[in-house]
Amino acid sequence: MTDYTPFATSASAQSARDIIGPSPLIEIKNEAPPKLIVDRPLPKPLAQGRVFIQYRAENLRVLPVFGEGALQVSPRIGHVHITVDDAPWHFADTSGQTIILVGLEPGSHKVLIELADPTHKVITSEKVTFTVPNLER
């Protein structure tokens, strides 16, 4: 009979917690501050005039939950605000997925991505600049 250990892992394997973070089912005492990581637009779509920006949040789950009561949730939750080219308005994203922008004129652009709490208070932000190519032939 072979001894079977279903939870054995190699020394180099990362745990689920290492990859996805702590369980959302257990309160976290003394949570680390939220962090926003934003990548440059993906080159292939950008060359075709589409802007795909990947981002992720650490120590904050991006979810469609808003209001004062949501400030008490642990692990912490929030969303992102996205402002294109210093527009006087922004839109919110609660998906945690790649930001997709289409229809931008050729030329230089900037996108401000802000990590916000459930009451829309900005926690941290990152700005991405890029150039949309002229696709006229």
Residue 45 confidence class, pLDDT cut points 50, 70, 90: very high
Please give the angle made by the CA atoms of 17, 18 and 24, to the nearest 5 degrees: 30
Q: Which CATH class is domain 16-132?
A: mainly beta
Sorted by sequence, the CB contacts under 8 Å of residue 128 that are 6+ apart come out as 38, 40, 41, 53, 110, 111, 113
Can you give the pTM of this predicted structure? 0.82
Both tokens of residue 5? 């250990």
Sign, CA dihedral 37-43-44-48, equals: positive
Residue-wise pLDDT for 92-123, tens only, equals 999 999 999 999 999 999 999 999 999 999 99
In this structure, are residues 85 and 107 in contact, taking their beta carbons and an 8 Å threshold?
no
